[in-house]
């Protein structure tokens, strides 16, 4: 059956990707077969209004209630370009579908919503009065109704909220099946989080990452760049068991004191503590200790050198062979901080894919951010690849006029073998040679932070910052 899905007008590329991932989570599909979508007449692809074909109301409810970006999913009773057309459509909606929700013993509420403008209370009442022809026999209950309905009017959609103008007004009326619980964003907002670092992940994005990873109770989720644990907090909220690692012992062991550390971030929300937090290098990960396929998802924000640069174990002298490996003497062990050397994103991403290919269960998901320079006229970016994975989705979030980050979601579809290890290495070398030159040490940092007058688009002209329609900014 076709449902009306109304999205929040933000993180535009994340919306359908989140929806599809949740559909896969609740109905067990691999996520490889996309759902059927269509747009209302005359609507732009970035419109908040979409129609989606779902096999059951239960699936629609589960997706909506778990999502972050679904404002509501509705059983559409009618739509039209005017109230007259809307009335005609609602009147011809089958009685047997309407009557169960209009019965005398039930309670109901009608919301009036719009896109691109605020509707005053008197206007809302006026709209509701125009629905008087619907034979509601139940009582109104604004706080906790049995059935919720929504009237959505996209009049004045053009020229507002950054979307290109739309030609026709469209009014929708439907029964609400479910909606995102965005109150959790307030509960988990970073400004009230005890332990924060400069790259702590925003709560909304952490929840979206958990949804992309199809996190659910009983699943084991790993973040190899755990930092303050913000990504794992999102996963734990949805019931996952969590495990993290970071190269910085001060982050995983000490934080800012006994009551201000990764553990206290879980305690603050009454979430189950991580199964373990390791001081481990993405370069020398736990599989070296004999661990195999054990994670259902790996979710992370690798250090790509814009705000926090990657480090790898060893120290410059050791890696150059100038000094031999050494054993830390027993009396220095408690406060020894191992030396590290710069770790380029190229290496980091290769090691991450290798780790994920080895340690994810079949069907498990790798969800991580990848930086992209937004040079004008540059071709579409190419993303890292691995023979064990298929790319499920890529969602761009523009961070400045110079760079964006893309949330990549990959699913493991082939087991890790020695042949695959070799194939992946060759694929990586090819990728590094052809696509990653600009990501070599420090390039991203200087591209993002160099003064505007030296930052050009390669033709000697400065980037233009003139306003234009860029949906991914919202
Ligand atoms: C972008 S931050 C992640 C922040 C984290 N998502 C949070 O919410 O706080 C990257 C983290 O990776 C860690 N890191 C850098 N190089 C690493 C490596 N080779 N192995 C493991 N962790 C590393 C840094 O110490 C830093 O905490």
Query: Separation of 301 CA from ligand 1 center, angstroms?
Result: 7
Give residue-wise pLDDT tens across range 168-196.
Answer: 788 999 999 999 999 999 999 999 999 99
Q: Considering only 59-68, 88-97, 281-290, 353-362, which range has the smallest mean pLDDT?
A: 281-290
- Ligand 1 contacts CB of residue 281 (under 6 A): yes
Distance CA 436, CA 351 (A): 15
The rounded mean pLDDT for the chain is 87
> Token pair for residue 329?
């003497």
Listed ranges 22-31, 199-208, 311-320, 460-469; the one with the highest mean pLDDT: 199-208
Given a cut of 90, whether residue 7 has pLDDT beyond it is yes
Pocket mutation for ligand 1, best pick of 207, 243, 247, 263 (most atoms within 8 Å of C-beta):
247
Given a cut of 50, whether residue 333 has pLDDT beyond it is yes
- Ligand 1 contacts CB of residue 309 (under 6 A): no
- Ligand 1 contacts CB of residue 301 (under 6 A): yes
Distance CA 348, CA 140 (A): 57
Which residues lie below 8 Å from residue 144, measured CB to CB, with a gap of 6+?
107
Q: Considering only 40-44, 238-242, 262-266, 411-415, which range has the smallest mean pLDDT?
A: 40-44
Determine the pLDDT at residue 466.
45
Q: Whose CA is nearest to atom 5 of ligand 1?
A: 227
Given a cut of 90, whether residue 313 has pLDDT beyond it is no
The strand pair at 340-343 and 310-313 is best described as: antiparallel
Query: Separation of 210 CA from ligand 1 center, angstroms?
Result: 18
φ/ψ (deg, to 5) at 426: -65, -40
Determine the pLDDT at residue 321.
77
DSSP structure string for 56-117: -HHHHHHHHHH-SSEEEEEEEEEEESSHHHHHHHHHTS-HHHHGGGT-TT-EEEEEEEESSS
Mean pLDDT of 248-269: 93
- Ligand 1 contacts CB of residue 90 (under 6 A): no
DSSP 335: T
Distance CA 83, CA 230 (A): 47
- Ligand 1 contacts CB of residue 265 (under 6 A): no
Angle value at C-alpha 394, between 391 and 399, nearest 5 degrees: 150
- Ligand 1 contacts CB of residue 367 (under 6 A): no
DSSP 445: H
Mean pLDDT of 14-33: 86
Q: Is the Cβ–Cβ distance between 178 and 73 less than 8 Å?
A: yes
Question: pTM, whole model, 2 decimals?
Answer: 0.91
Question: What is the helix, strand, coil percentage profile of the chain, to 5?
Answer: 30, 25, 45
Q: Is the Cβ–Cβ distance between 463 and 401 less than 8 Å?
A: yes
- Ligand 1 contacts CB of residue 200 (under 6 A): yes
Given a cut of 70, whether residue 448 has pLDDT beyond it is no
Give residue-wise pLDDT tens across range 41-92.
Answer: 878 888 899 999 999 999 999 999 999 999 999 999 999 999 999 999 999 9
In sequence order, the β-bridge partners of residue 462 are 456
Band the pLDDT of 467: cuts 50, 70, 90. very low
Higher-confidence position of 226 and 334: 226
Q: Which secondary structure element, helix H or strand E, spans residue 410, and what is its range? A: strand 403-412
Q: Is the Cβ–Cβ distance between 135 and 176 less than 8 Å?
A: no
Pocket mutation for ligand 1, best pick of 193, 224, 308 (most atoms within 8 Å of C-beta):
308
Calculate the alpha carbon distances from 295 to 212, 290, 319, 349, 410 in Å: 15, 14, 30, 18, 14
Q: Is the Cβ–Cβ distance between 304 and 384 less than 8 Å?
A: no
Q: How far apart are the first and last CA of the chain?
A: 30
């Amino acid at each position: 059956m076709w449902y009306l899905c109304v999205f929040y007008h933000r993180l535009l590329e994340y919306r359908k990707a989140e929806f599809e991932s949740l559909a896969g989570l609740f109905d067990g599909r691999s996520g490889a077969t996309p759902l059927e979508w269509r747009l209302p007449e005359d609507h732009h692809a970035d419109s908040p209004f979409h129609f989606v074909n779902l096999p059951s109301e239960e699936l629609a409810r589960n997706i909506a209630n778990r999502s972050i970006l679904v404002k509501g999913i509705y059983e559409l009773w009618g739509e039209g370009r005017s109230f007259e057309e809307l009335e005609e459509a609602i009147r011809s909606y089958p009685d047997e579908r309407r009557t169960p929700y209009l019965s005398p013993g039930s309670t109901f509420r009608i919301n009036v919503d719009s896109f691109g403008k605020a509707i005053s209370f008197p206007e809302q009442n006026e709209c509701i009065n125009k629905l008087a022809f619907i034979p509601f026999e139940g009582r109104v209950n604004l706080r906790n109704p049995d059935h919720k309905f929504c009237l959505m009017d996209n009049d004045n959609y053009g020229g507002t909220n950054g979307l290109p103008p739309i030609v026709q007004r469209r009014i929708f009326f439907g029964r609400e099946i479910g909606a995102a619980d965005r109150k959790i964003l307030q509960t988990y907002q970073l400004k009230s989080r005890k332990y924060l670092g400069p790259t702590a992940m925003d709560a909304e994005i952490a929840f979206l990452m958990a949804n992309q990873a199809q996190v659910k109770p009983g699943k084991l989720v790993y973040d190899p760049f755990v930092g303050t644990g913000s990504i794992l907090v999102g996963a734990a909220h949805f019931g996952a068991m969590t495990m993290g690692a970071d190269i910085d012992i001060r982050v995983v062991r000490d934080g800012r004191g006994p009551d201000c550390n990764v553990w206290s971030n879980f305690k603050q929300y009454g979430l189950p503590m991580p199964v373990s937090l390791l001081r481990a290098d993405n370069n020398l990960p736990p599989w070296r200790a004999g661990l195999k396929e054990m994670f259902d998802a790996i979710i992370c924000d690798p250090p790509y050198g814009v705000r926090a640069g990657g480090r790898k174990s060893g120290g410059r002298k050791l890696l150059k062979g100038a000094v031999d490996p050494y054993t830390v003497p027993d009396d220095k062990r408690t406060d020894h901080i191992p030396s590290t050397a710069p770790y380029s994103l190229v290496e980091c991403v290769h090691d991450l894919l290798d780790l994920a290919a080895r340690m994810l269960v079949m069907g498990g998901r790798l969800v991580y951010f990848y930086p992209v320079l937004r040079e004008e006229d540059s071709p579409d970016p190419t993303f890292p690849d691995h023979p064990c994975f298929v790319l499920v989705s890529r969602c761009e979030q523009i961070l400045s006029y110079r760079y964006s980050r893309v949330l990549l979601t990959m699913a493991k579809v082939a087991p890790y073998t020695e042949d695959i290890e070799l194939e992946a290495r060759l694929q990586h070398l090819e990728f590094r040679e052809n696509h990653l030159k600009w990501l070599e040490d420090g390039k991203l940092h200087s591209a993002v932070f160099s003064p505007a007058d030296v930052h050009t688009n390669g033709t000697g002209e400065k980037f233009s910052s003139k306003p234009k329609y860029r949906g991914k900014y919202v």
